[in-house]
Structure 1
């Protein structure tokens, strides 16, 4: 451990960072009234306890009222944020972590109809596609005012006791001055040369330094290559890097490559599942070699081995593992304990960021305690009285239930009808691009085995098997089966995505995939059919395509589907199917009154799942609680004590898709909050 590159301290001016891992700036959207209150603080404190060297809050905190919060941003232009940031900083300091904050003016990357309804700003009139907004072009008084706003915000953060700040200069206002494609100003801030393109940045830095002094740490997260036509080039980036260093105003660089004004562009900067890991690490290393200044970087560095290589090879001084720390706040603690193999892996599902960009709060697909630190535990407390628990089903819900119960010290036996664990995730992982999803299962399986859970595969359980085992608690996590009853008749003429993914149905040549569920399943089936040479149309009655998948995660799927020529049709629904010789006639309608037909040779209907709940209902009248869940106790983290049938010896619960068709996060969250109090 003494020689592990990741565990070596790093000296940043006067600040000693205890190791080489950091959480880069990101906005989990946990603010309340634009302020980082208890939920926000608890999230960062959990990672400080886990050993992180530096937690960078906000992504980004906005410095001006005309930078309305698009992502639940901290309002750094309010004095009210100072005591909340001080409380967060003090508590993280108590656990040994340094704290910084990222400051920005969002510029064109927001909308005018948020916050105070002030016009968003840019050095040009170009529309930012992600927010569909045409900004106001900056005037001289806007520039002067915003420079002062940056300095005011920096002074507030210094007053709050933070260790430093980071200015954000990619895809927001600051680097719009740098970009020839967005800077349409004339005069001293125009795009004619590097001095004018960087004038705003340099004046911001100089004004901040005049307020906070030379000792306060000031860095910049910036784009050194936009990798797009007409944007900031690599040559631009290297020159800008040299000028930032020469200014003497910057203490560290946090290097970005790419652009982010569309979902597809954003995944180039922040890759998701099925895309390459650490795609810009070598580039960041090249920038560091040119600059010879402390250099940070993050972009899908999700495993410890890659992070260790980044430091050992001299590419980076500090490695950002942000989404990895949403999955597991204890990465450093586990490395130090020699338990690196127990780190809960980030599987790249991007449930965290996609929720933010859809207006929600960041949640990890398979760590439901993240963002819920005030209610849900990262570390399971032992129970006062050990119980005997039977779990049926080894999908994500059943495995999480078994893991949590075993952590509580209970004796757990798990039965699975299939010869292997995984449930629906095994189908999901059949697509090579989604193979990482199996880590959701593999990690839980390893934890259960470590904790002594007894597994029985190929085990079809009957009610009498449960009652004969005399458990204190039976948990039914039998999942669901593909729903095949969408149409009023002739459902047998269609197949489900499960039939395609499992190989039970061969892909057709002319195929209509009707997506009622809006999740990933239809996309996977369509891609498999198209890869086999089929001509595919995906249809949905929704106004937007695959709304449950969300933007960044949808990107690699759409790249594949469009490459394969798959057509997408929104706002039409499947009303019926009839056979016509060797073909099928699909009758399609619309909530808006239109109708049409499609002649195809295969119809695939994605309509979610129906609970596989026979075992539950057979056991329900035999159980002590008659299957009833006390929702008040569940929400409050209290034990389940209902006993309308006190003569029974066991309590009965069901979780996951055995209750209703939802997603992986819901299944795991349901298991955690039930079982943590058993």
Structure 2
């Protein structure tokens, strides 16, 4: 059907017609195997192609040279065997009417010498990148010639694989290390003037164009403003775009603003929840207006309204919704079908990127099927037989279980002791900066409401309440409660981080937050305490504070705390708390030596995760047909649960999420999806 929606209009890019204006920009979900984009990688991109995205940009980035070893699991574009794997991915996406490109790069100093083949890191100057810490060898003329040839070889491989084009990474990586006066320390002809600093990129482009011809698109994702004193300015960034345009070698630009050499800088380039949406969109629009090259851009464009504005206002030709498509790969289909309200929201948690930068695979915080397309469904199939499913708890685990069961066609009843859904997510979302996370709950409540799920709030369900429903399946998702018994003595003199976050306990004036869990909860409490004007010390026995709060999520906490009375103490263990007049005396030990230091506070806050709230599960367990047991082999392989051993004809009983053990939102959602999809 024809549509007047700006997002659904086709776009002609040189010889290629893109069927709409929505793309996923280059990113590396770290799914390759042995450096190759095998089935897991292919199916991830294919899911988005089947749902209507016009262009999927693979890799972020694929390495063109052996001395550009991946710092996470990147595609190795310098190997000939990549052609066959990329061809299979491309052919599958082309069958769905989706164009395919790849991002090619040499990382330069943005990697480490102790990866891959242990070759020296090279850069256009001697300064190291703080994030990856390697001191680079200053690139020599023979390195430059070799790397240019590597780029051309890689581009030729991608053309042989049938891709529609390639994009070169010119922000933070070697091309940009030449382009930026902050990192280029070379003499002429490779350093000094903008013309000299741009020479490497232009020679790469020329070499690649010679290999691939005119019917293969070449683009530049480049830093058009480093937003850093002494770096590339807005005006210089526009001049760089004009250089690309006038060369006739560049078919499109993809605009970046900022640097990625540190965690704070990268978080400004790729903002997370609590930060401004689309902060660089107007700047990208300025480049499009002043230069005229086809312009792409992605930086926290999480929703359809913002994307539609970007295209309708003429700021962009193609809008990138990359993290949004990790949350919901079916965005385009839902727009086409008039079902925008069904789109699973990207809540900006950036669990996806943070996992990658810590060496893991990209996973969406609340879509457990993303990256698991081989085994987990994005669309739930109806069950052969309708059953009565009772769920206890409305945190992310319980609501996902209810949603999936309802989509299967089952009759679903949900008990919740509180007056509102959300569990720990609702507590987390009380912090203004993290309020968007309530979208995890709101979306599921809307999906359940559309499927007539019966919610019983303000009901503390006991075994008889559950049995009265005559269920076929019972799922206990009652979550956990904070661990209070944390130290050797004086636990009764402490409060939990939950007490602070809920407002049940007001912050003191001189506060110790003892964090033995390392998750968001302690930092959220510390931020609230500091913002109340108190002095706060965050202490942990770990060698780093908050190890479960990954790189990009740590940045806003530090920005909230570092200009206040906040300190951080690592490698010390709180052992005792006792009263000393109107103060609390804390005894502090260490795992590294026998130690008993004393310190004084007026409030001690502890954070040691949660313990399962599972009394109901244990009450019901002997009355269930499976005695609460789970066949892990069946769970992993995606087969229905068939374990028996309890009373015949009884209900099946399962517990999920933090009712099992303290984990995180993704684990809770994954527990529910992979269990309930087969009920």
Q: TM-score range, shorter-chain basis?
A: over 0.9
SS in 1 for 2:574: strand
Structure 1 counterpart of 2:336: 336
Alpha-carbon offset, residue 647 of structure 1: 2.3
Alpha-carbon offset, residue 71 of structure 1: 2.0
Structure 1 counterpart of 2:163: 162
Alpha-carbon offset, residue 313 of structure 1: 0.4
Structure 1 counterpart of 2:508: 508
For the residues of structure 2 that align with 1:80 and 1:7, how far apart are their CA atoms?
Answer: 36
Contact 2:404 2:677 in 1 (8 A): yes
SS in 1 for 2:190: coil
SS in 1 for 2:495: coil
Task: Please say if 1:49 is aligned against 2:50.
Answer: yes
Alpha-carbon offset, residue 361 of structure 1: 0.4
TM-superposition CA deviations, 1:603-640 (whole Å, max 9, x none): 00000011111100000111111100111111111111
Alpha-carbon offset, residue 488 of structure 1: 2.5
Alignment of 1:594-673 (within 5 A): 594-673=595-674
For the residues of structure 2 that align with 1:644 and 1:170, how far apart are their CA atoms?
Answer: 60
Structure 1 counterpart of 2:422: 422
Structure 1 counterpart of 2:456: 456
Contact 2:480 2:658 in 1 (8 A): yes
Alignment of 1:508-527 (within 5 A): 508-527=508-527
For the residues of structure 1 that align with 2:565 and 2:140, how far apart are their CA atoms?
Answer: 46
Alpha-carbon offset, residue 545 of structure 1: 1.8
Structure 2 counterpart of 1:382: 382
For the residues of structure 2 that align with 1:612 and 1:650, how far apart are their CA atoms?
Answer: 21
Alignment of 1:546-565 (within 5 A): 546-565=546-565
Contact 2:190 2:196 in 1 (8 A): yes
Question: Alpha carbon RMSD of aligned pairs, Å?
Answer: 0.8
TM-superposition CA deviations, 1:580-621 (whole Å, max 9, x none): 011001111111114422100000000001111110000011
Task: Please say if 1:276 is aligned against 2:272.
Answer: no
Contact 1:540 1:569 in 2 (8 A): yes
Structure 2 counterpart of 1:151: 152
Contact 2:109 2:173 in 1 (8 A): yes
For the residues of structure 1 that align with 2:97 and 2:386, how far apart are their CA atoms?
Answer: 35
Alpha-carbon offset, residue 129 of structure 1: 0.5
For the residues of structure 1 that align with 2:215 and 2:194, how far apart are their CA atoms?
Answer: 28
Runs of 4+ in structure 1 off by over 2 angstroms are: none
Structure 2 counterpart of 1:95: 96
Structure 2 counterpart of 1:351: 351
TM-superposition CA deviations, 1:159-213 (whole Å, max 9, x none): 00000000110000001111112111113111x2122111111111111111011
Alignment of 1:568-583 (within 5 A): 568-583=568-583
SS in 2 for 1:311: helix
SS in 1 for 2:527: helix
Contact 1:470 1:649 in 2 (8 A): no
For the residues of structure 2 that align with 1:613 and 1:357, how far apart are their CA atoms?
Answer: 35
Structure 2 counterpart of 1:23: 24
Structure 2 counterpart of 1:137: 138
Structure 2 counterpart of 1:123: 124
Structure 2 counterpart of 1:262: 262
Alignment of 1:229-248 (within 5 A): 229-248=229-248
Structure 1 counterpart of 2:478: 478
Contact 2:83 2:160 in 1 (8 A): yes
TM-superposition CA deviations, 1:133-180 (whole Å, max 9, x none): 101100000000000000000000000000000011000000111111
For the residues of structure 1 that align with 2:409 and 2:129, how far apart are their CA atoms?
Answer: 53
For the residues of structure 1 that align with 2:180 and 2:227, how far apart are their CA atoms?
Answer: 12
For the residues of structure 2 that align with 1:563 and 1:671, how far apart are their CA atoms?
Answer: 41
Q: Which ranges of structure 2 fall in alignment gaps of 5 or more residues?
A: none
Structure 2 counterpart of 1:68: 69
SS in 1 for 2:245: helix
Alpha-carbon offset, residue 577 of structure 1: 0.6
Alpha-carbon offset, residue 563 of structure 1: 2.3
For the residues of structure 2 that align with 1:595 and 1:136, how far apart are their CA atoms?
Answer: 47
Contact 2:543 2:571 in 1 (8 A): yes
For the residues of structure 2 that align with 1:269 and 1:557, how far apart are their CA atoms?
Answer: 17
TM-superposition CA deviations, 1:46-78 (whole Å, max 9, x none): 010111000000000010000000121100000
For the residues of structure 2 that align with 1:530 and 1:567, how far apart are their CA atoms?
Answer: 10
TM-superposition CA deviations, 1:374-396 (whole Å, max 9, x none): 01110111111111000000111
For the residues of structure 2 that align with 1:36 and 1:515, how far apart are their CA atoms?
Answer: 40
For the residues of structure 1 that align with 2:176 and 2:463, how far apart are their CA atoms?
Answer: 64
TM-superposition CA deviations, 1:358-409 (whole Å, max 9, x none): 0000000000000111011101111111110000001110000000001111
Alpha-carbon offset, residue 469 of structure 1: 1.3
Alpha-carbon offset, residue 462 of structure 1: 1.2
Q: Which ranges of structure 1 fall in alignment gaps of 5 or more residues?
A: none
Alignment of 1:533-552 (within 5 A): 533-552=533-552
For the residues of structure 1 that align with 2:525 and 2:194, how far apart are their CA atoms?
Answer: 50
Alpha-carbon offset, residue 564 of structure 1: 2.0
Alpha-carbon offset, residue 648 of structure 1: 4.5
TM-superposition CA deviations, 1:438-491 (whole Å, max 9, x none): 000000000000111111111111101111211000000011111101112321
SS in 1 for 2:666: helix
Contact 1:402 1:412 in 2 (8 A): yes
SS in 1 for 2:562: helix
Structure 1 counterpart of 2:218: 218
Task: Please say if 1:171 is aligned against 2:182.
Answer: no
Task: Please say if 1:365 is aligned against 2:379.
Answer: no
For the residues of structure 2 that align with 1:131 and 1:569, how far apart are their CA atoms?
Answer: 24
SS in 2 for 1:674: helix
Aligned residues: 677
TM-superposition CA deviations, 1:521-545 (whole Å, max 9, x none): 0011111111111100001111122
For the residues of structure 2 that align with 1:263 and 1:378, how far apart are their CA atoms?
Answer: 32
Contact 2:59 2:102 in 1 (8 A): yes
TM-superposition CA deviations, 1:506-558 (whole Å, max 9, x none): 11000000111110000111111111111000011111221111000111011
SS in 2 for 1:3: coil
What is the TM-score with the length of structure 1 in the denominator?
A: 0.99
TM-superposition CA deviations, 1:204-246 (whole Å, max 9, x none): 1111111011121100100000001221111210111111100
SS in 1 for 2:369: coil
Contact 1:622 1:648 in 2 (8 A): no
Alpha-carbon offset, residue 95 of structure 1: 1.0
SS in 1 for 2:501: helix
For the residues of structure 2 that align with 1:104 and 1:595, how far apart are their CA atoms?
Answer: 53
Which deviates further from its counterpart, 591-600 or 108-117? 591-600
SS in 2 for 1:647: coil
Structure 2 counterpart of 1:438: 438
For the residues of structure 2 that align with 1:438 and 1:530, how far apart are their CA atoms?
Answer: 24
